[in-house]
């Protein structure tokens, strides 16, 4: 009897120690870290407090159903590496995608929420017009919701739901022709979130040009789909501004990070500032004060149209 109790206590102690090494992170609808009150998802980072080459990330819906799981090369953000599986809240498989150091590369599969196979394809890397590396999806086979095959061996017609395929939350849907697995010719689409329509021209999967029309009939030319907001003077100047103007509280008791989020609106002004990871009340309030003082951004663009974007700002502090 004593031996059984001993092993039970030992098992409980080991299990408790394992849980202590894990970390829970609360996420909003865009999978950006937020407060527990604002969470839409949450993430468990296994062995967060240990030094490892990779960390197992498991993300959950608020219902505690698994949303996605896979390894990350960084314990503080999901730098995906290897096979990542995602799921609908009903438990059905949503996608299986392979990553290398955060980039989608290699085979992938997608399903509809009702369990019907949607797509089989593969990602490969290219350099875009901004001289940045991005992943391009080659579509080998595609089925509609009624299980009718619309693309076979890289040829056919395709409906691109950017929310599902590109991990986007901008609600754009477009349709057009696929040749050799890639977008080709004219594509027509619309965006419910920002209330615009668009027409784009592609050659071998690369966007050549596009024209969007907003809800007022104003037209915009573009050759890049999404442009992130940027501080005037550049990101380095912004960080230097924060470092120069942030007054660390004298009574700071612990070292760590204050993480603040805010919205850069379509006019380039900062709104909706809030603390999403608190370190100490005085440190949190000072982060909000100094960010408000800057308030000068170039707004982000969605298909040439100025839109609101969420921005996250971490500030590392060391207690003395």
**DSSP labels, 173-237:** EEEEEEETTEEEEEEEEEETTTTEEEEEEEETTEEEEEEEE-TTS-EEEES-SEE--EETT-HHH
Instruction: Please state, rounded to an integer, the average pLDDT across all residues of the chain.
Output: 89
21 vs 93, more confident: 93
Count, residues in the chain: 320
**pTM, 2 dp:** 0.78
Q: What are phi and psi of 18, to 5 degrees?
A: -65, -40
- Structure token pair of residue 85: 């599986």
Q: Which of 142-151, 156-165, 233-242 comes out lowest in average pLDDT?
A: 156-165
CA distance between the termini of the chain:
51
Structure tokens at 234: 């550049």
CATH architecture of 230-317: 2-Layer Sandwich (3.30)
pLDDT at 9 over 50: no
Highest mean pLDDT among 148-157, 223-232, 252-261: 148-157
Is 282 within 8 Å of 251 (Cβ atoms)?
Answer: yes
User: Predicted confidence band at 7 (pLDDT cuts at 50, 70, 90)?
Assistant: very low
The pLDDT score that the predictor gives to residue 278 is 87
Residue 2 pLDDT: 46
pLDDT tier at 135 (50, 70, 90 boundaries)? confident
What is the predicted pLDDT for the residue at 68? 97
115 or 169, greater pLDDT: 115
47-58 pLDDT, tens digit each: 998 999 999 999
pLDDT at 77: 87
Nearest to 214 by CA among 311, 129, 301, 309: 301
Percentage of the chain modeled with pLDDT above 70: 91
How many C-beta neighbours within 10 Å does residue 184 have? 17
Q: How far is CA 52 from CA 17, 230, 258, in A?
A: 17, 33, 24
The closest of 270, 238, 258 to 317, measured between CA atoms, is 258
Mind listing the pLDDT tens digit for each residue in 273-300?
Answer: 989 888 899 999 999 999 999 878 999 9
Mean pLDDT of 79-86: 96
Q: Which of 8-22, 160-174, 197-211 has the lowest mean pLDDT?
A: 8-22
Residue 49 to residue 34: CA distance in whole angstroms: 20
Tell me where in the chain the CATH 3.30.1150.10 domain(s) lie.
230-317
Bigger pLDDT: 122 or 311? 122
Instruction: Match 């921005």 to its residue by tokens.
Output: 311
Distance CA 278, CA 276 (A): 6
The Cα 77–Cα 82 span in angstroms is 15
3 state SS for 251-312: CCCCCEEEEEEEEECCCCCEEEEEEEECCCHHHHHHHHHHHHHHCCEECEEECCEEECEEEE
């Amino acid at each position: 009897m004593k031996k059984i109790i001993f092993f039970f206590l030992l098992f409980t102690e080991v299990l408790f120690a394992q849980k202590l090494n894990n970390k829970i992170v609360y996420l909003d609808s865009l999978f950006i870290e937020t407060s527990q009150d604002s969470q839409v998802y949450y993430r468990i980072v296994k062995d967060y407090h240990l030094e490892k080459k990779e960390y197992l990330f498991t993300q959950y819906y608020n219902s505690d159903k698994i949303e996605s799981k896979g390894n990350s090369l960084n314990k503080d953000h999901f730098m995906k590496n290897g096979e990542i599986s995602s799921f609908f809240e009903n438990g059905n498989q949503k996608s299986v995608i392979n990553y290398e150091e955060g980039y989608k590369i290699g085979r992938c599969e997608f399903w509809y929420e009702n369990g019907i196979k949607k797509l089989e394809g593969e990602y490969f890397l290219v350099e875009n017009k901004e001289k940045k590396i991005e992943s391009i999806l080659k579509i080998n086979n595609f089925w509609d919701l009624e299980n009718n095959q619309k693309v076979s061996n890289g040829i056919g017609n395709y409906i691109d739901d950017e929310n599902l395929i590109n991990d986007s939350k901008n609600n754009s849907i477009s349709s057009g022709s696929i040749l050799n697995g890639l977008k080709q010719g004219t594509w027509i689409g619309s965006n419910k979130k920002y209330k615009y329509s668009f027409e784009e021209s592609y050659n071998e999967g690369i966007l050549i040009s596009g024209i969007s029309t907003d809800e007022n009939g104003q037209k915009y030319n573009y050759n890049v789909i999404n442009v992130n907001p940027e501080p005037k003077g550049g990101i380095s100047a912004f960080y230097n501004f924060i470092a120069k103007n942030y007054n660390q509280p004298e009574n700071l008791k612990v070292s760590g990070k204050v993480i603040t989020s805010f919205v850069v609106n379509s006019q380039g002004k900062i709104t909706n500032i809030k603390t999403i990871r608190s370190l100490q009340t005085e440190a949190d309030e000072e982060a909000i004060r100094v960010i408000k003082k800057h308030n000068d951004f170039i707004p982000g663009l969605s298909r040439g149209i100025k839109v609101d974007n969420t921005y996250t700002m971490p500030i590392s502090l060391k207690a003395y």
